[in-house]
Structure 1
Amino acid sequence: MEVQQVLHMNGGDGETSYATNSNLQKLVITKAKPVVIRSISDLFTTNLPPCLRVADLGCSSGPNTLLVISEIIEAIDEICHQLNCNTPEFQVFLNDLPSNDFNTIFKSLPVFYEQLKKEKGEKFGPCSITGLPGSFYERLFPSNTIDFIHSSSSLHWLSQVPSTVENNKGNIYLARTSPPSVLRAYLDQFQKDFSLFLSLRSKELIPQGRMVLTMIGRRSEDPFGKDCYFWELLSKSLNDLVSEGLIDERKVDSFNLPYYIPSRKELEAIVCAEGSFYLDQLEIFDVNWDASDDDDIKEFMFDRFMSGQKVAKCIRAATESLLACHFGYVVIDVLFNRYMEYVSDHLSKDEGKFFNLVVSLRGK
């Protein structure tokens, strides 16, 4: 399976689309906002370019795509008012794999530009937004051209399934029953991919350029802990379909996700070893699987079935392209109905949390 040719979030704005089921990713962007604003503000107060060039890597499509760009523009506008200087021009590059739904993004741009003009006035900007198809595990920009790079909820996706994964029977990711060789293969692939990502971006950023990256991570150093349990429930759902004769067992045994959930120490070690960046800040925050607020859960009666449905739709929007390519579209509805049941049952007994790592980096 060629990940770059297959992987994409569900396009459009239908019931199973990423646009409709990306509240979790929106919450992650919102929680990481202070780090983004701090980084971009620090860059702009030490360097006043006439044109600020920003890249969002793994942008997907839907309402979240332009959210970070809006936050950056708002921060720069506020800084310029404080410094009593003109705002720069903005050149924004939205990057994702070629199969991403860029058409939906392009259709939303006229409204975005009009809203920007209405809020900031005719003299603001201009702001130019361009789609850039391609893998962020390859070069994307000329050398020393980008001021600020952002990526959210994307870098846990690997460039490929680890080539040496063997005997991960009945699992689609790391689990307690996975042999040690599977763990080594996944960690090696992440180290290789993330090191390459840092090296490529260091060439494309201006000297002292900034980068803020947010990805799902592990709070624990245990690679088989609760942080990965949402994948075990999907494995369990697939194995149910094997038992019911809907999927060949060999199909499950040969499927592994191109995905890795790193710990804080693993991430720090790679940044240090690769050597192109100073690590200015690294924070961890958690969000509920269903993107609900803890206060809401306390105040209102918890509906595990509604929460299970939200989680299943979110995971489906992100993984359907991979699963359908391997198992066929005919089983997708059945699979995620079963997954919803398992998630609902789990949430009735225990919490479900995604731990996110947000790291702010400065080029050397």
Structure 2
Amino acid sequence: MSSEQMVHMNRGQGETSYAQNSSLQNAAQNRMRSLIEEAIADLCSTSTLLPSRSMVVADLGCSSGPNALVLVSIAVDAIQSHCLRYQQQPLAEICVLLNDLPDNDFNVVVKSLVAFQQSHKSIVAGIVPGSFYGRLFCSDSLHLVCSSNSLHWLSKAPDELKRNRIPAYDIDEHVRRERRTIVLGAYARQFGKDFTQFLELRAKELVPGGRMVVSLAGRRSEEPASKYTHAWESVAQILSEMASKGVINRGKFESFYIPIYGPSDEGLRDIIQSEGSFSIRELQVHEPTSDNTLITPSRMANMLRAGFEPIIIQHFGPAETIMDKFVSTAERRWSLQGSLQEELAANPRVILVVSLTKKV
């Protein structure tokens, strides 16, 4: 991740923390359960993949809070259940590795990891800080890689937009519509570069025949990309209103780029096939699990704050009230009956889940 932008979720356990506002992300993780279990069954059934009777499982972009151990817990339970079901000797050891950027709240993660080790025998665990757009592990050392709700975060915002001073989200709606294709194209190209690099690096780190199961925010291929500007549309709209009213500096808003892109399922498939290191076992497209009618303006505002506060504060300055104004602006926007549901319906997003096998 670019050093210019400090990307991490809100720390701690408070009301505005990611830990208290991550139920949607947990639902996305549970969508991965069957594919992780299938990957484990495949690995355990192929004796050549486990010559030392040990397995290494890595979660990339683990974040913090209650979701940090969900994916590795699914994997460990699946390993133990498989051995029991087929009366196989339990693996000698399972190594669990958790990764995220250095600014992640690893203090909370480590405490959870210690408790996890105490309740699961033969578990070796470790923390690996760093960007998953760089090398993280030794060659041919991993058996299973998981990642949930992380890979739509880019290594950086598109340089071409910054270089040409093209705002990611124009306050002027007419100009925004005219530039939408340019902006989307720049973000799509950056995602293509980043995801290709991610695949190349993981191909070096996974054993031959190793498995990978990842999920990320995206859109359906049949939904025209021209309708959307960003996966972070709601954040942009709130900040745009704040800039229009002078709450935040308009110039700073026009130079604000959140490094997120939600690809289509076909776009994701094309990148994987073009890179060539992996075969696609399955690619699923899921609607968000939560019913939009149950998401209140206050809950939605807090979820956005938990995910975007650090990067907003870094760009606009450490004003103590800026995020309080962000929340109040959001709640005011959505105070009319049906307005929040209408906004969510106008910007439909899906969860893409893909299961991959490293080619031998």
The answer, yes or no, to whether TM exceeds 0.5 is: yes
CA shift, 1:314, in A, is: 1.5
Question: Post-superposition shift, 1:131?
Answer: 0.7
Q: Which runs of 5+ in 1 are unaligned?
A: 117-124
- 1:1-364 equivalence runs, <5 A: 2-3=2-3, 6-47=6-47, 49=50, 50-88=53-91, 89-116=93-120, 125-165=121-161, 166-168=165-167, 170-171=169-170, 176-219=177-220, 220-225=222-227, 231-287=232-288, 292=290, 294=291, 307-330=296-319, 331-343=322-334, 345=336, 346-349=339-342, 352=345, 353-364=348-359
Deviation for aligned residue 1:136: 0.3
- 1:287-326 CA distance string (max 9 Å, x none): 15xxx3x4xx8xxxx56xx622222212211111111001
> What do residues 194-251 of structure 1 show as CA deviations (whole Å, max 9, x unaligned)?
000000000000000000010001114422436x677333222212222322211111
Distance across 2 between alignment mates of 1:239 and 1:221: 25
Aligned to 1:121: none
Shift, 1:51, TM fit: 1.1
Contact persistence 2:230–2:262 (CA under 8 A): no
- Judged with a 3 Å threshold, the aligned counterparts in structure 2 of structure 1 residues 106 and 276 are, in CA distance, closer, same or farther, namely same
Preserved contact between residue 168 and residue 179 of structure 1 (Cα < 8 Å): no
Q: Distance in 2 between matches of 1:170 and 1:113?
A: 45
Please state how far the C-alpha of 1:286 moved relative to its aligned partner.
1.1
Contact kept, 8 Å, 2:61 with 2:99, in 1: the verdict is yes
1:167 and 1:179 in contact (8 A); partners too: no
Which segment drifts farther, 60-69 or 38-47?
Answer: 38-47
Measured at CA, do residues 287 and 344 of structure 1 come closer, stay the same or move farther in structure 2, by a change above 3 Å? farther
TM-score, normalised relative to structure 2 = 0.88
Q: Match of 2:279, SS?
A: strand
AA of the residue aligned to 1:22? S
Q: Structure 2: state its 5+ residue gaps.
A: none
| In structure 1, C-alpha distance between the alignment counterparts of 2:233 and 2:227, rounded to whole Å | 11
TM-score, normalised with respect to structure 1: 0.87
Alpha-carbon contact 1:144-1:205 (below 8 Å) kept:
yes
In the alignment, the residues of structure 2 paired with residue 44 and residue 141 of structure 1 have an alpha-carbon distance, to the nearest angstrom, of: 22
Once residues 3 and 46 of structure 1 are traced to their aligned partners in structure 2, the CA distance between those partners, rounded to angstroms, is: 41
Percent sequence identity over matched residues? 39
Determine the structure 2 residue equivalent to 1:122.
none
The 1:175/1:194 distance shift into structure 2, 3 A limit, reads farther
Distance, in Å, in 2 between the alignment partners of 1:44 and 1:344 is: 52
Quick one: structure 1 residues 141 and 110, their matched pair in 2 at CA, closer, same or farther if it must change by over 3 Å? closer
Q: In the aligned structure 1, how far is the partner of 2:258 from the partner of 2:109?
A: 27
SS in 2 for 1:6: coil
CA offset at residue 2 of structure 1? 3.8
1:340 Cα deviation (Å)?
A: 3.2
Number of equivalent positions: 342
Matched AA of 1:167: I
> Is the Cα contact below 8 Å between 1:311 and 1:343 reproduced in 2?
no
